[in-house]
Amino acid sequence: MTKPEQPPAPLSRFARYFTTTGWVHAILLLFAWLFFFPLLWMAATSFKTDEEIPEGALLPAIPFFHPDSPYVRVPVPAQRPADVTPDRWADLLPILTDHASLHILAIQHATPKLNFLAPIDESAHRASAAMILVNSAVAQLNKDLWVGPNFTFLAAYDALLTPDAINSALRSSLAALDLLSFQLHTLDAHLYTLTNAPDFATTWQVESGPARLVPTPGGTLLSYHFTDSTPIILRHSFPFPAGVSSSDLHKLILAIQSDNSWHHVDAQLDLPDGSHLSSTRTTYLAQFRPMSFLFQPPTFDDQILRAKDWIPLRKNGDAASFSFPPSQATLRLFIHPSSTPRAIWGKIVRNYLRAFDAIPFWRYLANSSILVLLTTLGSLFSASFVAYAFARLNWPGRSAAFLLLLATMMLPPQVTMIPGFLIWRGLHWYNTLNPLWVPSFFGTAFFIFLMTQHMRTIPKELEEAARLDGLSPLQSWYYIILPNIKPVLAAIAILSFMSSWNEFLQPLIYIRDQAKFPLALGLYGLKVDQLNPLAPDWSLILAGDVLMTLPVLAVFFLFQRYFVQGMTMTGMKG
């Protein structure tokens, strides 16, 4: 509608803004959110740990600074069994909790206190353990007991509060750094256990830092209390087993129970042959579960394309002479405190670093980049070149050829795959990247069709003028047509970039050697690798997917400005 000459009442600034451009922003923001959501979901999931995946929350938990360990874990919520009514549950829960607390208190009094560096709050510990105890006991009760009289119910409940159950609850409600075992693996696959759990307290030393090794029933834990950024240095000097020399060492395996403090760990190793090695990857004390550190000096493992799931040790000068008697090796663990930002950073990068180590990422990226570059160049050239013949020139058989071009898209590719393979095989291009990019230089029907449709809209007069100027067809294609097809060239560049970037089936069929994989196929290794196919490592897979998506996003962001530029560049002013 035409604008009214005089607006009846001055609109507020906001209303004016909204009626002109605001509504566009509003709609676009809505779409942008709908479209952005999956990326957010992917990214959020890629930061999660194994423990968080089953919880189903959208965002991962934020780690924060833990000065002390052991520390009491946050109590878990009580879980009502499906057959119990909410009212009954509300009545009974306080009683159940009290009973549990009382039983725990008795055990707490009866057991000797461990000599922790920072004493733990016993009542908080009790409260946290009580919830675990309530949940585990309630889950075992027959549903009929809940509707019966209180005394039979409580008798059955109390019977489940056994010392074993209580001790287990006390243990699970406390986050602690337990040292479980220390083993040496030789290159000929022999495994020697050097330290068992109870022996850590006697054979390992805290060299410096605010920590102490505390013997526990059946094991050893490291109690610490950080006040500043001084790291804890844990040292262990050990002789190599008889008949094993420094050059036989494959890896050292230290099994621990982690305390989810996100403190970061580095290591140094002095070998009997006098070499001094330091870790080149920082690890984090993530999650509450048993895990192990694999320390590995350079071996044949570094030469092959396998997942690097160990902490590499690299030569770093010769060992300081004073640190050990000859024929002994010394391992030093440096536990640095992670402040809250450092812990968050550690959590963000953790799965990404794992993804980089799990596959030869940079090699795959290089393969993909060169493929994408060649394919995009090829598509741009062939589409603009061939479309010129279809759109701008008059020749016999043009319509038939055009239909043939379209027809090549209509036959399902599944039935031409094997004859196609035979052709490339005949050219001796099996197991090379060539079958993946060469075809783009001969033109893709989809792009030629798109380009033809666009070229047909360019006015004839433009070329007539050029021809009068004496330009050859090639010059006319280059000087007249190309500047006018920039928006479509940009579209083709993006589409062909994307399809070759994500191409999976072709490289799977044509490439045999892992070293030649492009990224899309290489990342697939993350899915089949690692674990059981039925318990996939989702955070690792999604970290890989995010890494895969980011370059495309960047390229799109850079190219999309050609859609605006195209308008001013087109020479259609006359």
Gyration radius (Cα) of the chain, Å: 34
Structure tokens of 313? 């040790």
Stretch that binds another protein, among 90-98, 334-342, 345-353, 487-495 (CB under 8 A): 487-495
Q: Does 144 bind another protein (CB under 8 A)?
A: yes
The nearer residue to another protein, 227 or 414, going by C-beta atoms, is 414
User: How many residues at the interface with another protein, by CB under 8 A?
Assistant: 179
> How far apart, in whole angstroms, are the C-alpha atoms of residue 297 and residue 246?
10
Stretch that binds another protein, among 235-243, 266-274, 320-328, 399-407 (CB under 8 A): 399-407
417-446 residues near another protein, rule: CB under 8 A: 417-423, 425, 430-434, 437, 439, 441-443, 446
When binding is defined by CB under 8 A, the residue of 155, 320, 404, 464 that contacts another protein is 404
Stretch that binds another protein, among 106-114, 223-231, 319-327, 452-460 (CB under 8 A): 452-460
Torsion of CA 533, 534, 540, 542, to 10 degrees: 100
The nearer residue to another protein, 2 or 6, going by C-beta atoms, is 2
Q: Does 142 bind another protein (CB under 8 A)?
A: yes
DSSP 359-391: TTHHHHHHHHHHHHHHHHHHHHHHHHHHHHHHH
**Least CB distance from residue 285 to another protein, whole Å?**
11
Q: Does 59 bind another protein (CB under 8 A)?
A: no
Nearest partner of 360 among 305, 298, 311, judged by Cα: 305
When binding is defined by CB under 8 A, the residue of 11, 15, 28, 320 that contacts another protein is 28
> How far apart, in whole angstroms, are the C-alpha atoms of residue 505 and residue 525?
14
363-392 residues near another protein, rule: CB under 8 A: 366-367, 370-371, 373-374, 377, 381-382, 385-386, 388-390
φ and ψ at residue 2, rounded to 5 degrees: -70, 150
Stretch that binds another protein, among 97-105, 108-116, 238-246, 556-564 (CB under 8 A): 556-564
Give the three-class secondary structure for 268. Answer: strand
Q: Does 466 bind another protein (CB under 8 A)?
A: yes
When binding is defined by CB under 8 A, the residue of 56, 77, 86, 243 that contacts another protein is 56
DSSP-H helix ranges across 456-537: 460-468, 473-476, 482-484, 486-502, 505-510, 519-528
Structure tokens of 300? 């044949």
Sign of the dihedral through C-alpha 480, 484, 488, 494:
positive
Q: Does 453 bind another protein (CB under 8 A)?
A: yes
Q: Does 272 bind another protein (CB under 8 A)?
A: no
**Least CB distance from residue 308 to another protein, whole Å?**
9
247: Cβ–Cβ under 8 A, 6 or more apart, which residues? 273
Nearest partner of 518 among 302, 510, 421, 556, judged by Cα: 510
179-198 residues near another protein, rule: CB under 8 A: 185, 189, 191
34-53 residues near another protein, rule: CB under 8 A: 34-36, 38-39, 41-42, 50, 53
Q: Does 458 bind another protein (CB under 8 A)?
A: yes
413: Cβ–Cβ under 8 A, 6 or more apart, which residues? none
